[in-house]
A = this chain, B = another copy of it.
């Protein structure tokens, strides 16, 4: 892992305010919380990226004018929240962004398939500029007729179709969506990088597939499908709405805790 970035561009805004003598009387937020906020802002803004080493406790303590124990508390809590990873003797690092929901993992289907030791490939069936119609416009929060990108991709696991991904994307959040090479990177993977993911909403249902979907999955239209509707939120807006069709006989969601 590389040493921590010396980018002083984003100094703690509250560093001066922190010099109020330490434990102030009217301090609205405690010092450890200000430190947490600062670090979170650096991570979420992308200044400190995944794997980067962040300043050592001593350094932060000096910067914020607090004792090491206070910094320790901030970092320890962020580690328990899986924002940071701490390695004794080595340093503190920005953790992998944890997008995997507890149950339905948000990992890309490609990753999942490769994790099983199988081969993944995908076919692009459609890629177009579409116009927002209801109820899609309402879900995205854009006026009817606004431009939206639309893609339909089939994912294969060892040449067996495993998922049809029908996705609508907000051009403002991902302007170069149409120029992507989907054989190299899945739409999901691209979106995770382009627009920092803030949240996910999903809905699972069982449906019989329309003929078009059934054909792409190579299944008869009588075979039930597990359908995952997924909305990803970025910067307070809906960045992407995907409908993922899985053949019931070949796919299950699993989880636990």
Q: Does any Cβ of B come within 8 Å of A203's Cβ?
A: yes
What B residues does A104 contact at CB under 8 A? 103, 255
> In the bound complex, do residue A256 and residue B199 qualify as a contact, i.e. CB atoms below 8 Å apart?
yes
Give the distance to chain B from A82, nearest Cβ to Cβ, in Å. Answer: 12
Q: Please give the distance in Å from A144's CB to the nearest CB on chain B.
A: 25
State the oligomeric state as a number of copies.
2
Main secondary structure of the interface of A (DSSP, over half): strand
- Choose the segment among A33-41, A86-94, A188-196, A204-212 that binds chain B (4+ C-beta atoms closer than 8 Å): A204-212
Q: How far is the CB of A67 from chain B (nearest CB, A)?
A: 13
> Which chain B positions have C-beta within 8 A of A224?
206-208, 224-225, 248
Residue among A205, A252, A253 with most chain B CB within 10 A: A205
Bound together, the chains give a CA A200 to CA B257 distance in angstroms of 6
Q: Tell me the minimal C-beta distance from A196 to chain B in angstroms.
A: 15
Chain A 234-257 interface 0/1 with B at a Cβ cutoff of 8 Å (1 = within)? 000000000000101001111111
Closest CB-CB distance, A32 to chain B, in whole Å? 11
Given that A102-B101, A206-B248 are known contacts, is A257 also in contact with B222, CB under 8 Å in the complex? Answer: no
Q: Which residue of B lies closest to A106 (CB)?
A: B257
Q: A201 an interface residue at 8 Å Cβ cutoff?
A: yes
Known contacts A101-B103, A101-B257, A102-B101; is A226 also within 8 Å of B200 by CB? no
B199 and A257: CB pair below 8 A?
yes
Count how many chain A residues have C-beta atoms less than 8 Å from C-beta atoms of the other chain: 32
A29: chain B residues within 8 A (beta carbon): none
B80/A252 in contact, CB under 8 A: no
* Chain B residues with CB below 8 A from A202, complex form: 103, 254-256
Is A166 an interface residue when CB atoms closer than 8 A count as contact?
Answer: no
Q: Which residues of B contact A205 (CB under 8 A)?
A: 226, 248, 251-253
Q: Which B residue sits closest to A77, measured CB to CB?
A: B80
Report the separation of the CA atoms of residues A184 and B9 in the bound assembly, to the nearest whole angstrom. Answer: 63
A69 — nearest CB in chain B belongs to which residue?
B69
Q: Which of B201, B246, B248 contacts A255 (CB 8 A)?
A: B201
Return 7 A-B CB contacts under 8 Å, by A number.
A77-B80, A102-B102, A203-B253, A206-B246, A207-B248, A224-B248, A226-B226
Question: With A80-B80, A207-B248 given, can you name 16 additional A-B contacts, CB distance below 8 Å?
Answer: A77-B80, A101-B102, A102-B103, A103-B202, A200-B256, A201-B254, A201-B256, A202-B255, A202-B256, A204-B252, A204-B253, A204-B254, A205-B251, A205-B252, A208-B224, A224-B224
